[in-house]
């Protein structure tokens, strides 16, 4: 059994359901301290964060990720206990196997091998780890990033260990993510008896033309890295449950996944303009789930692509698809942020797993990326 596989199994046994770290970061500290890292635990609320750094010179390349995992779901539906790492048919099963305890193990062993081979390497290496990525993400990476910013610590490159591979290991890296903007729209009418519509005002009918306009709106155009911004309705609530009552209001939940071609403010302003044009009486509450970020092709993407090609023979592709990640926080203090990890087909699912054949190559890609950046 390789050291990377053994460490992945150790991490899986720690039941770190968000926001609990359950000792994962202590295990990391025990491994990093002998390598010359200064390790700092940063507690925020019930979230545990780790900032570890070796060296004081630039450039500083940081490995980032999370020790928390999503809940298991119905345990009885798993073919093996979710927190007992189990190997069958060439795959390692367990909650967090792909998202992202294998990446953390691979990063740790990659750094250990690099430091042992290049004890006097130039630059610095860091780890930025949280137990709050799968949760609200308000006490995790963003807290550490704000702390580092206030200290004046400059991050030059960051590799986030999110599972990005799609069909085969190494085929995709993320050089950005779309932003997320959620709106809760309440359109007000006048409740009344359905047999006397002239005495009521149906908010569903009032809202329909505006909703059509919102869904037909072209918010921006695609560019080299992003698909066009998407507007999607997720929930619609109205009515009393009775078939003879015109409702007094309708609540519509919607979400934008938006590119760097738009901003949260510009989207909000355009939505209000459309609603106002249709003369609606409404309330609208906004939640910004995350800002978009983008790392254009450059030193880090080239170093990582070269490492993937060397290890797998695959010409990887840059992508900005998928949900939000903690990369959005790190990008505020680091000019180049790239995400790379194992195949993501089983993440958050029953019987989450990673192919054993991916684990050592993952470690090697991380180590070779270090070599390409620092040597």
Q: Which of 9, 21, 132, 133 is catalytic?
A: 133
Q: Which residue has the tokens 């002239």?
A: 198
Both tokens assigned to 324: 């939000």
Does a cis peptide bond (omega within 30 degrees of 0) precede residue 130?
Answer: no
Q: Which of 68, 112, 139, 371 is catalytic?
A: 68
Count Cβ neighbours within 10 Å for each residue of 208-221 and write b for 16 or more, e otherwise.
Answer: eebbeebeeeebbe
Q: Is 99 annotated as a binding residue?
A: yes
Q: What is the DSSP string of 128-143?
A: EEES-SSS--SSSHHH
CA–CA gap between residue 130 and residue 125 (Å, rounded): 17
Q: Is 237 annotated as a binding residue?
A: no
Q: Give, in order, the Cα–Cα distances in Å from 304 to each of 144, 157, 211, 344, 362.
A: 25, 11, 43, 18, 11
Whose CA is closest to 346, among 65, 105, 94?
94
Sign of the Cα torsion 164, 167, 169, 172 reads negative
Q: Is 224 a catalytic residue?
A: no
**Residue 273 Cα to chain centre, angstroms:** 31
Q: Is 156 a catalytic residue?
A: no
Count Cβ neighbours within 10 Å for each residue of 315-337 and write b for 16 or more, e otherwise.
Answer: ebebbbebebbbbbbbbebbebb
Q: Is 162 annotated as a binding residue?
A: yes
Q: Is 134 annotated as a binding residue?
A: yes
Q: Is 139 annotated as a binding residue?
A: no
Give binding residues as ranges. 66, 99, 134, 162, 348
Catalytic residue annotation? 68, 133
Give binding residues for Zn(2+) as ranges. 66, 99, 134, 162, 348
């Amino acid at each position: 059994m390789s050291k990377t596989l053994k460490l992945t199994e150790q991490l899986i046994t720690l039941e770190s359901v968000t926001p609990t770290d359950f000792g994962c970061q202590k295990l990391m500290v025990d491994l990093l301290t002998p390598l010359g890292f200064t390790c700092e635990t940063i507690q925020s609320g019930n979230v545990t964060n780790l900032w570890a750094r070796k060296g004081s010179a630039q450039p500083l390349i940081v490995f980032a990720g999370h020790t928390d995992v999503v809940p298991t779901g119905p345990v009885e539906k798993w073919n093996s206990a979710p927190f007992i790492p189990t190997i069958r048919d060439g795959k390692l099963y367990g909650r967090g196997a792909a998202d992202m305890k294998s990446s953390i193990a691979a990063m740790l062993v990659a750094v250990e091998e690099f430091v042992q081979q290049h004890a006097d390497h130039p630059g610095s290496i860091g780890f930025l780890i949280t137990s709050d990525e799968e949760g609200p993400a308000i006490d995790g990476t963003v807290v550490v990033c704000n702390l580092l910013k206030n200290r004046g610590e400059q991050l030059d490159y960051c590799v986030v260990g999110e599972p990005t591979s799609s069909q085969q290991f190494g085929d995709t890296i993320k050089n950005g993510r779309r932003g997320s903007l959620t709106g809760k729209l309440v359109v007000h009418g006048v409740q009344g008896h359905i047999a006397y519509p002239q005495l009521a005002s149906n908010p569903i009918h009032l809202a329909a033309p505006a909703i059509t306009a919102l869904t037909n709106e072209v918010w921006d155009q695609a560019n080299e890295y992003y698909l066009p911004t998407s507007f999607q309705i997720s929930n619609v609530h109205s009515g009393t449950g009775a078939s003879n009552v015109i409702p007094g209001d309708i609540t519509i939940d919607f979400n934008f996944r938006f590119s760097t071609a738009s901003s949260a403010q510009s989207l909000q302003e355009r939505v209000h303009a459309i609603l106002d044009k249709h003369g609606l009486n409404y309330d609208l509450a906004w939640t910004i789930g995350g800002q978009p970020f983008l790392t254009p092709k450059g030193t880090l993407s080239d170093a990582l692509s070269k490492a993937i090609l060397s290890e797998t023979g695959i010409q990887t592709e840059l992508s900005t698809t998928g949900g939000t990640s903690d990369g959005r926080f790190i990008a505020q203090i680091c000019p180049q942020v790239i995400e790379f990890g194992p195949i993501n087909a089983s993440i958050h699912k029953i019987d989450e797993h990673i192919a054993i054949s991916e684990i050592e190559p993952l470690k090697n890609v991380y180590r070779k990326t270090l070599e390409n950046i620092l040597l």
